[in-house]
Structure 1
Amino acid sequence: MKPNISIIIPVYNVEAYLADCLDSILVQTFESFEVILVDDGSTDGSPAIAQKYADAHSEQIRYYRKENGGPGLARNFGISKAKGDYLMFVDSDDIVDPEMLTDLYESAFVLESDIIFCPYFRHGLYQEVTIEGTYDFDMDKVYTGTDFLKQSDYTVTTCSKLYRTAFVKQFAFPAHWFEDVAWLPVVMSYAKKISYVSTPYYHYLRHDTSIVSSTSNKQILGSLDAIRFIVQNANPEAATEVAPFTASLTLYMCTRRPAFADRYVDLLMENKDFILSNTNFEEHPRLKVRLDYYYNAFQAIPKHIYYDHFGKTTLTEQEQNNLDTLVGTLVEFDAKITCLNEENCDIDEHPAIRKAYDEGRYHVVGQYFKCKKLMEEGGIALSKQVRGIKYITPLLLRTQALFGFQNDTSITERIYAAVAGHPVMQEIFDVFMAHIDQDDAMTIAMREILMQKNQLTYSYDLECNFKQKYLTAYNETVRVYATCVLAHDYGIGSAYSDCHTKPLSKEIKNGTEYTLVDSFYFDTLLRITKDYTVYQMNRERQNKANETFFLHRKIGNLRNRMHRQAMRITVLKDRSENIKMHYDAVTRMKIIWYPYQFLRKLFPAKDVKAWMTQREADKKLAYFRQIIEQPEEEAE
């Protein structure tokens, strides 16, 4: 018998999650469906699990195994095997609620939609649960795919949706990563009839090993190809909706993937004409503000690190460790890292440099050549003593030159950056050369130009400003950050690097190791800890107040939806032969929710399914009997 719905599940190395996914599908209250498992060359125990379920449920589950080609090709293969009038994609590490197929198919049957979608539960890495994918749509109306794109901003997921098979077969998934990000906007741009079910039934589970949980994985760059795919393949008639959606998605990726933020800005520039010519900024004022920054005289600091090592000495263990871990902490694999030394620098190009070199003041020589490189080519000047903590790429996109306070009296010379030709570097270089006979020539130069000439004064208020931890100069093209951003790691998640005034020493007393720090660091750390704790407490109080507000609003929405459903039931009550196809309001609103994913761990899946089916049947029967037995005028 031909199934009404085909569920396509791409499988690749998910032995820890696949059984849970399949168990959640097998307890669906909707019966006319098939499951198409497409193993994409798994190397773990996933094939054995898939085969076991296919053997045990041969009437509903079909299992295929193919060579590894990525999730996009696996989805295409599943579509080619689908027999149902509608199809659904479920990721093999996610789960769905028992009523999902029934509720979405009901909307498809009543409204004759090509795509039906619902919100979803997002389970975070730290067990936090949020509801995402909600839309301001009525459940009894039909919309277009462009209506979906208008409200989507950057939310893209192929799951939690039901698609008419005949409609989506004309759209193939691309082979690169982030195939779902590429595919769905294209499909929506052509969709003429979509409908919405407001109850979340899909559970999206994030894991440490998933691509979307990574901020630096090389496969992340597949999202660049995904955005290009949207621009190239979306419906030209929907360009006014696709353009702002694409811009918002690119900006979101820029924030979400900080290691490659510069790549996304380059993509914004690549799509500049398409975005500007097709976006109505009166409808997107916030987007206009963000794009104006990049499209008007924007200049990013190159992701090119220069560190120095003169004197032909051996690196210390700590220095070598700092350099070895720069890729993966401060920058990613696509950054350039150059060591400035005797092989690529001319020591004799200036008599003062030759003198400093002969005197063994190699750090002065290094500062000279790093400063020149930034003036000529732009980039990041780095000391071997700096420990990377967090990707610095976002900072490189927000200003044309950046520095950081070392303490309340000086600017750190161990990490700074600038675009080529910025006047601040020339001024610092001139003062540096005037004091080159002193070991702290660069510290003197930075203090004179930034703190004295431009009157940038350190204050503790700057350190505790959780929104803007920097001061500006040179028409806001230069930023000088608080010590907790570039100089010290205070443990509150804001530091990009850690460069103490001098290497921290260790001391052991009574068998316990202590780290010795300078008094400024210690005093600031104590004050930061206290103020940050107060900040977190106040934010938690506000969150609880917000939760109360949203709870009352959710209750109000629940009443309204129950009323709309009761009206629909009144209209349908004369069609008694079809009454079983319509859920009652109590079930739809999930007033009572049984966590079947826990029940199935205690009882066989078939027993849980039978129990759930009987429970729903009893509840529906009682509810509809109550509605039908009401007098006509009272029901209306």
Structure 2
Amino acid sequence: MNNEVLVSVVIPVYEVEDYLARAIDSVLAQTLSSIEIILVDDGSTDDSAQICDEYAARYPDTIRVVHKQNEGLGLARNTGAALARGKYLAFIDSDDTIDPTMYASMAAAAEENGCDVVMCDVMIHYVAEDKTTVVSSYPSQTVDLCDYIANGNNITYSVNKLFLREWFSSFAYEKMLFEDIALIPAAMTHCRTLGYVAEPFYHYYRRPNTLSTTVQGALGDVVVAFKLFLERCNPVFREEAVYCAARQIYWNMMQSRVLLKADFITLLHEYEADFLKNSYIRQDKTISRLLPFCSEPVIPERFLCVHLFRPLPDDFLPALTETFPRASVVQADERILSAIPLPESVQHALDTGNVTFAEEYVSLYLLYRLGGIVLTPETRAQLTLKTLRTLRVFFGFSSEDTLFTGCFGALKGHYVIRMLLESYNTPSIVNTACLPLANRLRDLLTVQFGLRLNGRKQLLHKEVSVLLPSVLAYDMQDGENCAKRADIKVPDGYECVSREVLAFWSARILENWNLYKSMRDARPGTPPPTPAPPSPRGGISEAELAAHIQQVMDNYEQSTSWRITKPLRALANLFRK
């Protein structure tokens, strides 16, 4: 290994056997000779580790390899940085590449101007679309640090920057996704001299199935990353840092990660004063659209799970915490019954063995006092449930005229939940007969809020959201599902539905198809459709639809009222001519 090293390049490696050699070769091709490469194998299970060792054997004076257990990109970078010997430190991702003159040019700029950091532009390769774009980091070769923090591009990237190693040694990456966001923008606010080479030296290959787009539950780390940025930024540049965060948050909320909108709104609540008083934000017509969200309520990411006199299913909590790792989970078993006041109807239900009636009351009680999302032990939540947290209160249909109570949510102290709780003290057949919450909810929403029992999405009194059966009760593979009942085990890709739901959903699909055709044919200048050649089926009539539905149901006839069917397969042939 050469004694004089100007630039140490750290390459974290994990499961990249198809791209790793290309990345290493691009560093070996650098015109700068005083360079070392540190490959940090983060517990790869493919051939990446072997590729690292082979390169180290071929280039022993330039390449070192570290094999470690898998801990994530951030800690792999920390490991490499701790081993670096160069005056300057750089990172590249193992599936990207760099131009041959990148480090020679950037090191020269650093040496000439005494920079803590030198940055360059980035060329993004959209692999699936087979297109590229260059993202410039700053509009001028001479960088004003204050303006760069507020308005610059690529500020969250580690890979387009060359760091003075002595300066960078006071920083470290977190063990999380989006570790760049948590560290680099805040670090830049502590930079004394920033240099810039306006060339797209770094080639970032954006693929559909990279780390950022496949890890589901940990996606919420991006919100935590912005919080860490705001906590760690230099107070001298506080105003610019808040605006920088606001620009990134706006893009994430409105375009990139709409799924996490409620999480970002919660972050805006926490730093409300910083955002509301920020002069940069107030003067920016686009970013100022964030400001109303500072006072916009969201349902807390809190799951309320009531299970009286029975354990939770073994897979319930593991599945919930894997999908929502930062959510709070409130479990309530029979011990809660001595801690809360029980209406006579609930006590009567317990005395007669109707535990479900009591579970439903306790769920409403906790929901009213805490806010959050009720999830019964028979229901499983999907990550898309996060999108419903921006609503005030939500319920869902399970069929055309029945409401689903396996998953529903509300803000703390919401008046609809209070009305439901109060109804337990009112003489009624629902209480006398200890009828399910679905009946109580249906009666309240139809009488007090004008709910139409048609299985369709409705917003009642501009406050109460009632959703399709495919959102909270069944996964009908239409991309809308947020939760589903899981008490009946079926093979992957299948769904368990009642015959009423199958008939309702089939009719809905046919209605949507006919609506699409009528709108298509009504467009100005649209030629009349060419008659299709005769076929044995011809068009689909209501009678044929009903017959086909009955045939599907008969094929899966069982001893209970439930049928196993695969919705897309069962209905795929309905619309062929």
Q: TM-score, normalised by structure 2?
A: 0.70
What pairs up with 1:87-486 in 2 under 5 angstroms? 87-98=89-100, 100=102, 115-121=118-124, 127-128=128-129, 131=132, 134-135=135-136, 137-138=138-139, 141-151=141-151, 156-159=156-159, 161-163=160-162, 165=164, 168-169=167-168, 172-174=171-173, 176-177=175-176, 178-189=178-189, 190=191, 192-195=193-196, 197=198, 199=200, 201-204=202-205, 210=211, 213-217=214-218, 226-249=225-248, 266-293=266-293, 295-296=294-295, 298=297, 300-301=299-300, 303-309=302-308, 325-329=319-323, 331-332=324-325, 334-341=327-334, 343-345=335-337, 349-396=342-389, 398-431=390-423, 433=426, 434=428, 435-438=430-433, 440=435, 442-457=437-452, 471-473=459-461, 476-486=462-472
Q: Is the 8 A contact 1:505 1:515 kept in 2?
A: no
Cα deviation digits, residues 75-110 of structure 1 (max 9, x gap): 5325x5114xx6532123433355655776798899
Q: Does the C-alpha gap of structure 1 residues 497 and 264 become closer, same or farther in structure 2, counting only changes over 3 Å? A: same
Q: Percent identity?
A: 18
Q: Does the C-alpha gap of structure 1 residues 136 and 253 become closer, same or farther in structure 2, counting only changes over 3 Å? A: closer
How far is 1:143 from its partner? 2.5
How far is 1:364 from its partner? 2.5
Counterpart for residue 607 of structure 1? none
Residue type of the alignment partner of 2:123: Y
Match of 1:71 among 66, 69, 76: 76
Match of 1:521 among 505, 530, 533: 505
Q: Does the C-alpha gap of structure 1 residues 193 and 305 become closer, same or farther in structure 2, counting only changes over 3 Å? A: same
C-alpha separation in 1, matches of 2:38 and 2:510: 56
Q: Any idea what SS the aligned residue of 1:118 has?
A: strand
Q: Does the C-alpha gap of structure 1 residues 441 and 298 become closer, same or farther in structure 2, counting only changes over 3 Å? A: same
Q: Does the C-alpha gap of structure 1 residues 47 and 152 become closer, same or farther in structure 2, counting only changes over 3 Å? A: same
Counterpart for residue 629 of structure 1? none
Counterpart for residue 37 of structure 1? 38
How far is 1:267 from its partner? 4.3
How far is 1:340 from its partner? 4.0
How far is 1:530 from its partner? 8.0
Cα deviation digits, residues 13-43 of structure 1 (max 9, x gap): 4562533321233345x35352321537757
How far is 1:370 from its partner? 1.8
Counterpart for residue 495 of structure 1? 481
How far is 1:303 from its partner? 0.5
C-alpha separation in 2, matches of 1:503 and 1:49: 47
Q: Any idea what SS the aligned residue of 2:141 has?
A: coil
Cα deviation digits, residues 281-314 of structure 1 (max 9, x gap): 2333343332422x3263533512223445x6x9
Q: Does the C-alpha gap of structure 1 residues 324 and 87 become closer, same or farther in structure 2, counting only changes over 3 Å? A: closer
How far is 1:493 from its partner? 1.8
Q: Does the C-alpha gap of structure 1 residues 385 and 226 become closer, same or farther in structure 2, counting only changes over 3 Å? A: closer
Cα deviation digits, residues 335-354 of structure 1 (max 9, x gap): 3142444x432599443234
Q: Any idea what SS the aligned residue of 1:298 has?
A: coil
Q: Is the 8 A contact 1:154 1:248 kept in 2?
A: no
Q: Does the C-alpha gap of structure 1 residues 7 and 92 become closer, same or farther in structure 2, counting only changes over 3 Å? A: farther
Residue type of the alignment partner of 1:81: R
Q: Does the C-alpha gap of structure 1 residues 123 and 339 become closer, same or farther in structure 2, counting only changes over 3 Å? A: farther
How far is 1:62 from its partner? 3.7
C-alpha separation in 1, matches of 2:417 and 2:495: 41
Q: Does the C-alpha gap of structure 1 residues 263 and 309 become closer, same or farther in structure 2, counting only changes over 3 Å? A: same
Q: Any idea what SS the aligned residue of 2:475 has?
A: coil
Q: Is the 8 A contact 1:379 1:418 kept in 2?
A: yes
How far is 1:445 from its partner? 3.0
Cα deviation digits, residues 253-274 of structure 1 (max 9, x gap): 7787799877655544443344
The structure richer in helix per residue is 1
C-alpha separation in 2, matches of 1:154 and 1:267: 22
Higher RCO structure, 1 or 2 (CA under 8 Å, sep 6+): 1
Q: Does the C-alpha gap of structure 1 residues 144 and 340 become closer, same or farther in structure 2, counting only changes over 3 Å? A: same
Q: Does the C-alpha gap of structure 1 residues 528 and 361 become closer, same or farther in structure 2, counting only changes over 3 Å? A: farther
How far is 1:494 from its partner? 1.9
C-alpha separation in 1, matches of 2:125 and 2:195: 23
Q: Any idea what SS the aligned residue of 1:288 has?
A: helix
Residue type of the alignment partner of 1:296: S
Q: Does the C-alpha gap of structure 1 residues 273 and 451 become closer, same or farther in structure 2, counting only changes over 3 Å? A: same
Q: Any idea what SS the aligned residue of 2:405 has?
A: coil
Q: Any idea what SS the aligned residue of 1:285 has?
A: coil
Q: Is the 8 A contact 1:400 1:477 kept in 2?
A: yes
C-alpha separation in 2, matches of 1:224 and 1:516: 40
Number of residues of Structure 1 aligned to a counterpart in Structure 2: 501
C-alpha separation in 2, matches of 1:446 and 1:477: 15
Cα deviation digits, residues 32-56 of structure 1 (max 9, x gap): 3523215377576656543432342
C-alpha separation in 1, matches of 2:317 and 2:89: 51
Q: TM-score, normalised by structure 1?
A: 0.64
Q: Is the 8 A contact 1:262 1:393 kept in 2?
A: yes
Q: Does the C-alpha gap of structure 1 residues 533 and 514 become closer, same or farther in structure 2, counting only changes over 3 Å? A: farther
Cα deviation digits, residues 592-617 of structure 1 (max 9, x gap): xxxxxxxxxxxxxxxxxxxxxxxxxx
